[in-house]
Amino acid sequence: MAPFPLDLLGLLGKPGTYLIFLLIGFGFGYALEMSGFNRSTILAGQFYFRESRVVKVFFTAIVVAMGLLFLAVRLNLLDYNLIWVPPTYLWPGIVGGLIMGVGFILGGFCPGTSIVGAATLKIDAMLFVLGGLVGAALFGETEPLFSNFYYGSYYGRVTLMDLFHISTGAAMLIVALMALVFFVMMEQLQKFVTKQETPDSLFRRIAWFAPLALTLVVLVMGDPTPAEKWARLAPEKEPLIANREIYIHPGELLASIADDTLSVVMLDVRSEADYNLFHLHGARRTPMEDLPAVARELLLDPNIGQTVIVLMSNDETAATEAWKIMQAESVPNVYVLEGGVNNWLSIFAAEEEGIQPAGQTADEQLAYTFAAARGDRWEAANPFPHEWELEYEPKIKLERKKGPTTGGCG
C-alpha cells in the first residue's frame, strides 16, 4: 500500500486490511473486464491496428495514476521515497520485454489480463495462465544458468527526472503528451485498417485532456523542497532535537564502528578544505545540496534497518540542518555526532603531534590547527576502539524501517 501517514493494519486489523486489498483487486479486475480485456481478440487486435482501446486505457491509467501520485506527493500526503521504483537492468529488461511482447501477440494476453480472462472462464486465458505458471517454474529452476546476464547491466533506480535532470512536472508533461500522440496515431491507424470512424463525444474529449490538465497542475506547483517536507514533520521531530536524543557521543560512534552487527555510514557535511585537513576514517564528504540524492541511495539499501547514519560538521549546527533534510527524506536511524569533529578531536587528538587547539573560534569553524592536510591519515581519525573506555549515555535505537518494497505487475 502507498505509505500515507495511516496505519491500516493498526486501524482495521488484518481482516479489515485484507478486505481493502480484496476490494482494490476486485476493482482492478472489474475495470479490465468492463474494458473487454478478458478477450484475446480485442487484446491482440492492437498489434494489427484493429483496436486502440488497450493503448488508450493503459496510457490513461498511467497518466492518471502518475498525476494523482505526484499531486499527493506535492501536497505532502505521500512519501515518494518509500515507493518502490523497479531498478533498471537494461539488457535483461529489453530481452524480457521482447519475450513478453511476442507472448502477448501469440497468446493474446498479458499476465494480468489472462487472470481476468480465466476468472470469466475463457479457455484460452486458462491455458495462458497455465503456460505462465509452467514458464515461471522453468525460470526458477534454470535461473542460475544465466544469472550473470539476468543481474547484468544494472543501473539502479532510474527515473525520467534523474535521466534528463528535469522536474517531476516536466517529466509528467512529456509522458502525457506522448500519450496524446499515441492516441491520435492509434485512432488513425485503426481508421485506416477498419475503414470505420471513431465516434466523437464530449466525454471522450474530457477523458483525453483531463489527465493532461492534472499534469499541468503538478508542473505549476513544482516539486516539494526538503524545507517544505520538514515543515510538516517539525512538530513531531523538533522535540528530538530539544531533548538531544539525536546527538551521539563520540564514544558511542566509535563503539558502533567496531560493532560487526551494524553498518555505519558517516556523512561529513563540512567544506572540502576542512575535510581535507582532517576527517574520520570512512567518513564521506557530502555537501548539503547532495543530501536528497544520498538519501534516495540509502533508502534503496535492503539492509537499511541495520544501518546507522551519522552526520557530522565542525560543531553541531550544520549537521543538525543536515539531519532535518534526512528526516524530510524519510531516512531512518540518522544521528548527529555530539559536538561535531571539534569534540571528536578534543577526545582522540589531545596528545597527537601536529594537531593543536586554535583557541576561541566561531560556530562551525575548526577549533584546531593542523601541521598538514592529511585527511584520515591522522591517528585520531581512526582510533583503536579497545584502547578507549569512555562513559556516555547510549542513544542509538535502531528503527527496523525498510526502504521501498517491491511491487507487482499487471
How high is the pLDDT of residue 10? Answer: 66
Residue pair 239/283 in contact by the 8 Å Cβ criterion: no
C-alpha pair distances (Å), 111 with each of 96, 141, 237: 13, 20, 44
Question: Measured at the alpha carbon of residue 269, what is the angle toward residues 263 and 274, in degrees to the nearest 5?
Answer: 115
Distance between CA atoms of residues 185 and 190, nearest Å:
9
How high is the pLDDT of residue 9? Answer: 63
Please tell me the chain's helix, strand, coil percentages from 3-state DSSP, rounded to the nearest 5: 60, 10, 35
In a shared domain, residues 317 and 379 = yes
In a shared domain, residues 220 and 309 = no
In a shared domain, residues 302 and 368 = yes
Beta strands 284-285; 263-268: pairing state? parallel
How high is the pLDDT of residue 7? Answer: 56
Beta strands 334-337; 247-248: pairing state? parallel
C-beta neighbour count of 13 within 10 angstroms = 11
Looking at the domain assignment, is residue 398 inside a domain? no
Distance between CA atoms of residues 125 and 118, nearest Å:
5
| Host domain of residue 255 | 227-387
Looking at the domain assignment, is residue 326 inside a domain? yes
Phi, psi of 77 (to 5 degrees): -95, -15
- 242 dihedral zone (left: phi>0; alpha: psi -120 to 50; beta): alpha
How high is the pLDDT of residue 45? Answer: 87
C-alpha pair distances (Å), 221 with each of 67, 348, 376: 12, 49, 44
How high is the pLDDT of residue 344? Answer: 97
Give the residue carrying C-alpha cell 499487471. 410
The set of cell numbers assigned to 42 is: 480485442
In a shared domain, residues 182 and 232 = no
Residue pair 321/288 in contact by the 8 Å Cβ criterion: yes
CA 391 to chain centre: 38
Q: How many residues does the chain have?
A: 410
Looking at the domain assignment, is residue 407 inside a domain? no
In a shared domain, residues 291 and 380 = yes
In a shared domain, residues 240 and 155 = no
In a shared domain, residues 382 and 314 = yes
How high is the pLDDT of residue 6? Answer: 52
In a shared domain, residues 115 and 262 = no
The set of cell numbers assigned to 374 is: 592529511
In a shared domain, residues 358 and 271 = yes
Nearest to 219 by CA among 159, 173, 181: 173
In a shared domain, residues 85 and 142 = yes
The low-confidence residues of the chain, meaning pLDDT below 70, are 1-10, 201-204, 400-410
In a shared domain, residues 40 and 67 = yes
Nearest to 317 by CA among 298, 338, 300: 338
Domain end call among 180, 207, 224: 224
Looking at the domain assignment, is residue 117 inside a domain? yes
In a shared domain, residues 255 and 203 = no
Instruction: Determine the residue type at 92.
Output: P
Give the residue carrying C-alpha cell 496524446. 180
Tens of pLDDT, residues 262-309: 999 999 999 999 999 999 999 999 999 999 989 988 887 777 878 999
